[in-house]
Amino acid sequence: MLAPERFAVGQKVDARIISATNRDLIADVTAGRFREDLFYRLHVISIQLPPLKDRKDDIPLLTLHFLGKYAAENRKGDLELTPDALDLLTEYDWPGNVRELENVVERAVVLSTGESLDVDLLPSSVRHPETVGFFAPSLPANGISFKEAVSDYERQLIVKALQTCGGVQKKAAEMLRVKPTTLHEMMKRLNISSESVVSV
């Protein structure tokens, strides 16, 4: 950062601002949650980045990048994914987008004991995506709190919907077939925020 004394009073500075969000800013402006004047100052050139599931050709390159990054950080030497593991990564829909992919690769690197990373190092959410989010109740001998179990399932569904919809609450509400106001109240009750569950 440049020291203040290096700038003269009234000196012009040529700067460019790049900002990113996973929110629907037009809806936020309409609802009064984002300043309209700031929106139009920032909204000069807009680039819509498709979710990772719609640009799967990027997955092998991103995976290679993260593999090299975390292999170096963990002093693991040269690592490579097996073809089966890469196929699973490519087939998965990545509701958490690039951040989720990065976390999965980091996890595999940390758990690895050899130079080849196979499917066993991938989380079950990637290996068995069709089973994620479904409630498989079990009743322990000492009983279970029905209220807590229901709240936990509600939380799972809401988080999954928000991740799938890129944090846009209106779209998540449509997916869950509830009113946006109802979803907002449920998120408030369960202490869920869009920012905390969605990674760009």
Render pLDDT for 45-102 as a digit per residue (tens, 0 to 9): 888 888 888 999 999 999 999 999 999 999 998 899 999 999 999 999 888 888 889 9
Bridge-based pairing of strands 80-81 and 116-117 is: parallel
* pLDDT over threshold 90, residue 197: no
| DSSP 8-state code for residue 131 | G
Report H helices in 74-179: 83-91, 97-111, 124-127, 146-164, 169-176
Domain range annotation of the chain: 17-48, 52-128, 146-197
Task: Look at the domain 146-197 and name its fold.
Answer: Arc Repressor Mutant, subunit A (1.10.10)
Neighbours of 95 (CB within 10 A): 24
Give the separation between CA 80 and CA 71, rounded to whole angstroms: 10
User: Residues 113, 129, 47, 22: what is their CA dihedral angle, to the nearest 10 degrees?
Assistant: -100
The single residue listed with the structure tokens 């050139």 is 45
- pLDDT tier, 8 (very low <50, low <70, confident <90, very high otherwise): low
- Give tens-digit pLDDT for 111-165: 888 889 999 898 877 887 665 455 555 666 677 778 877 888 888 888 888 887 7
- Is the separation of the CB atoms in 13 and 1 below 8 Å? no
| Dist. CA 110–CA 78, nearest whole Å | 13
CATH classification of 52-128, choosing from 1.10.8.60, 1.20.810.10, 2.60.40.10, 1.20.1290.10?
1.10.8.60
